A and B are shown apart, each in its own frame.
Chain A
Amino acid sequence: DGGITQSPKYLFRKEGQNVTLSCEQNLNHDAMYWYRQDPGQGLRLIYYSQIVNDFQKGDIAEGYSVSREKKESFPLTVTSAQKNPTAFYLCASRPIAGGQETQYFGPGTRLLVL
């Protein structure tokens, strides 16, 4: 898990509620990513950011929002528009310098709907 922390480990969401998942890294990595993992589905990209104050949608961005105000932080908000939010959410980061491609993952947050 290196220097990537995700909190909380478990999160419960009530109907119609927005919830925010935290991702912090102290690796001085430029790029950060959010993935959603469902059983048997692999990892699917929600959003990613390669620089502060800039981010791009991934394959399944609907119902989610992000911000990148600081290099070390990339919080993900699961909005009420996301009708099936139950999943395991993984944050990752990657250094850009030197053309490095390796992504390093955090320990994940499991989101459950009450």
Chain B
Amino acid sequence: GENVEQHPSTLSVQEGDSAVIKCTYSDSASNYFPWYKQELGKGPQLIIDIRSNVGEKKDQRIAVTLNKTAKHFSLHITETQPEDSAVYFCAASIGAGTALIFGKGTTLSVSS
């Protein structure tokens, strides 16, 4: 079955710096890749997603890139702010209603 590896497990940056989180997946049939942000004690919130027919997607300070050949995708956050501090999860699915397989998460800390 699908397996998703996420790195790093923790990431500390200064306010204004960029942050990059990387994920690799094992099933070449995977075609949907969402990213979730989870604040302490709350449920995950979708922040951006990408489908396999697209190589890059941006939404203000957040971008996701996908390399289907290498089977990896990355989350890029520019101009980080303290409120970006949270746990970020990547996930993958082969679509058609199948379940999401999640990475183990990255704890991002942005210090001012």
Contacts and interface: CB of A to CB of B under 8 A. Distances in A.
Report the interface size class on chain A.
20 to 34
B42 A42 contact: no
Interface of B: 6, 9, 32, 34, 36, 41-46, 49, 89, 93, 95-97, 99-100, 102-105
Interface string A10-34: 0000000000000000000001010
A103 B34 CA distance: 9
A87 interface: no
Count chain A CB atoms within 10 A of each CB in B49, B95, B96, B99 and give the residue with the most. B99
Nearest to B104: A42
B34 A40 contact: no
Given A31-B97, A106-B43, A42 B49 contact: no
21 contacts: A1-B42, A1-B43, A40-B104, A42-B6, A42-B104, A45-B99, A45-B100, A50-B97, A92-B43, A99-B95, A101-B34, A101-B49, A101-B93, A101-B95, A102-B49, A105-B36, A105-B43, A105-B44, A107-B42, A107-B43, A108-B41
B89 A42 contact: yes
Given A48-B99, A58-B99, A101-B34, A42 B105 contact: yes
Nearest to B103: A42
Contacts of B102: 35, 42-44
**Closest 10 A/B residue pairs (Cβ):** A105-B43, A42-B104, A42-B102, A43-B102, A101-B32, A107-B43, A105-B44, A45-B99, A108-B43, A106-B43
A108 B42 contact: yes
Given A42-B89, A42-B105, A43-B89, A103 B100 contact: yes
Given A58-B99, A90-B43, 19 more contacts: A33-B99, A40-B9, A40-B104, A42-B104, A45-B99, A48-B99, A50-B97, A90-B44, A92-B43, A99-B96, A101-B49, A101-B93, A103-B46, A105-B43, A105-B44, A106-B43, A107-B42, A107-B43, A108-B41
B99 A105 contact: no
